[in-house]
Amino acid sequence: MLLRTGVGYNLTENNNNLLLGYGYILSENYSGETEQKLTVNEHRIFQQFITKQQVGQVGFSHRYRFEQRFVETDFKMRFRYFLSVKIPLQYHEEGKNPLYLSAYNEIFLNTESSIFDRNRLYGGLGYQFSKVLRLEVGYMNQFFESSSRDQINIIAFVNF
């Protein structure tokens, strides 16, 4: 389970945003090759800056995030860089482009030894129902230092 919230401020109307956020993450990780799970609670405070560009109909987004992570009894810090692209598959004169392709790459870097944490590579298909709601289905591979993991994501974006 992942719950994330934040308070943001738009530096410019549509392109630059600062955010201070909090996240709660409840993980149940498998222990080795067994069916037993280890429950891990994490509280996370983060600061982020997002900047967006438009090249024709294609949208680009850069996110820089710095996290302070309270994982059970440990304290960790991490930097994340996220680059995404959104490509409309339909074009309407009134500016509505509901069906789109989405892709991103995000790298996670720790502030201590073992600097590389993970890299996420994602590609998906989405539909924008309104300014408030869009849905996306896609494939993501997470690369870790010595392994990787594939997953299918079904994502609902709700903005208000």
Provide the strand spans (E) within the chain.
2-10, 16-30, 37-55, 58-71, 74-88, 99-110, 116-128, 133-144, 148-158
pTM of the model: 0.86
pLDDT digits (tens, 9 = 90+) for 14-69: 789 999 999 999 998 777 778 888 899 999 999 999 999 999 989 999 999 999 99
Position 33 scores a pLDDT of: 78
Q: Tell me whether residue 87 is in a domain.
A: yes
Query: Does residue 6 belong to any structural domain of this protein?
Result: no
Using alpha carbons only, give the angle 158, 26, 117 rounded to the nearest 5 degrees.
90
Q: How many domains does the chain have?
A: 1
Query: How high is the pLDDT of residue 94?
Result: 63
Answer yes or no: is 12 within a domain: no
37 in any annotated domain:
no
How confident is the model at residue 93, as a pLDDT?
Answer: 63
- Indicate the pLDDT class of residue 139, thresholds 50, 70 and 90: very high
- What pLDDT is attached to residue 90? 82
Tokens 């790298």 belong to residue? 107
Domain that holds residue 116: 44-158
Mean pLDDT for all residues in the chain: 92
- Per-residue pLDDT tens for 83-137? 999 999 987 666 577 999 999 999 999 998 889 999 999 999 999 998 899 999 9
Burial degree of 86 (CB within 10 A; 0-12, 13-18, 19+): buried
Give a yes or no: residue 19 inside a domain. no
pLDDT value at 2 more than 70: yes
32 part of a folded domain: no
CA-based nearest residue to 142, from 116, 112, 111, 113: 116
CB atoms within 10 A of CB 75: 8
* Measured distance CA(38)–CA(123) in Å, rounded: 30
- Would residue 20 count as lying in a domain? no
For Cα atoms 140, 142, 145, give the angle at the middle one, nearest 5 degrees: 165
Confidence class of residue 75 from pLDDT cuts 50, 70 and 90? Answer: very high
| Any domain includes 23 | no
